[in-house]
Chain A
Amino acid sequence: GENVEQHPSTLSVQEGDSAVIKCTYSDSASNYFPWYKQELGKRPQLIIDIRSNVGEKKDQRIAVTLNKTAKHFSLHITETQPEDSAVYFCAASIGPGANNLFFGTGTRLTVIP
């Protein structure tokens, strides 16, 4: 099955700086890569996703890049704010007919005011 690795496990940045979280996946059949933000005790919330036919996607301060050849994808958050502090999970999905997400182990991001 798919194996998703995520780094770093913890990340501290000063408010206004950028944060980058990286993930690798093992199965070249994976074609959908969402990122979820999870605050303590809350549900995972989708913040951005990318499909394998796209190399980069941006939504305001958040961007995701995908390198299919190297089988890695990254989350970039610019101009970080204290409310960005949370645990971020990357995930990969193999399709068709297998929609379940394989998650990374998470990155705890702390934005220092």
Chain B
Amino acid sequence: GAGVSQSPRYKVAKRGQDVALRCDPISGHVSLFWYQQALGQGPEFLTYFQNEAQLDKSGLPSDRFFAERPEGSVSTLKIQRTQQEDSAVYLCASSPEGVGDTQYFGPGTRLTVL
């Protein structure tokens, strides 16, 4: 079946622009995660949804970052007034349900802020 997909794959934004990154999880997966991966680093947790409920947003670096999953399926990560330090790969992962379930990652969106 189809894996996790993300769009766009690449995004270039001028500093100060708003961006929206989309994640389509595996159909039926309850949990959805967003991670930020800086160059040469491991992914860092941003936020977590269980169905439509955002249960943990402790990793969001500032109030410029906002995520939603209104119908419990597709999720959007929005970054307002982008800054150069926001440049990174944004990874989405989904898992069926439950604690410690396997997380399946999407290909990521590479965001470059000029």
Identify the A interface with B (CB < 8 A). Answer: 4, 6, 31-32, 34, 36, 42-46, 49, 51, 89, 91, 93, 95-106
Is B102 a contact partner of A34 (Cβ separation < 8 A)? Answer: yes
Contacts of A32 in B (CB 8 A): 99-100
Instruction: Given A97-B99, A99-B103, A100-B56, output 16 extra A-B contacts at Cβ < 8 Å.
Output: A6-B42, A43-B107, A44-B43, A44-B91, A45-B105, A46-B103, A49-B102, A89-B43, A95-B99, A95-B100, A97-B55, A99-B48, A101-B43, A103-B43, A105-B41, A106-B40
Is A106 a contact partner of B48 (Cβ separation < 8 A)? Answer: no
Q: Does B71 contact A (CB under 8 A)?
A: no
Query: Which of B33, B95, B105 has most A Cβ within 10 Å?
Result: B105
11 contacts between A and B (CB under 8 A): A34-B102, A46-B104, A89-B43, A91-B42, A93-B99, A93-B100, A99-B103, A101-B45, A101-B103, A103-B43, A104-B42
Q: Does B25 contact A (CB under 8 A)?
A: no
- Tell me the nearest residue of chain B to A4, going by C-beta: B42
Q: Name B79-114 residues within 8 Å CB distance of A.
A: 91, 95, 99-108
Contacts of A101 in B (CB 8 A): 33, 35, 43, 45, 103
Q: Does B59 contact A (CB under 8 A)?
A: yes
Contacts of A100 in B (CB 8 A): 33, 45, 48, 56, 59
Given contacts A34-B103, A45-B105, contact A99 B95 (CB under 8 A): yes
Is B106 a contact partner of A46 (Cβ separation < 8 A)? Answer: no
Q: Does B44 contact A (CB under 8 A)?
A: yes
Is B42 a contact partner of A106 (Cβ separation < 8 A)? Answer: yes
CB B42 to nearest CB in A, in angstroms, measures 3
The 4 A-B pairs at the shortest CB distance, nearest first, are namely A103-B42, A32-B100, A95-B99, A100-B45
Contacts of A103 in B (CB 8 A): 42-44
Contacts of A6 in B (CB 8 A): 42
CB A49 to nearest CB in B, in angstroms, measures 7
Is B100 a contact partner of A106 (Cβ separation < 8 A)? Answer: no
Q: Does B31 contact A (CB under 8 A)?
A: yes
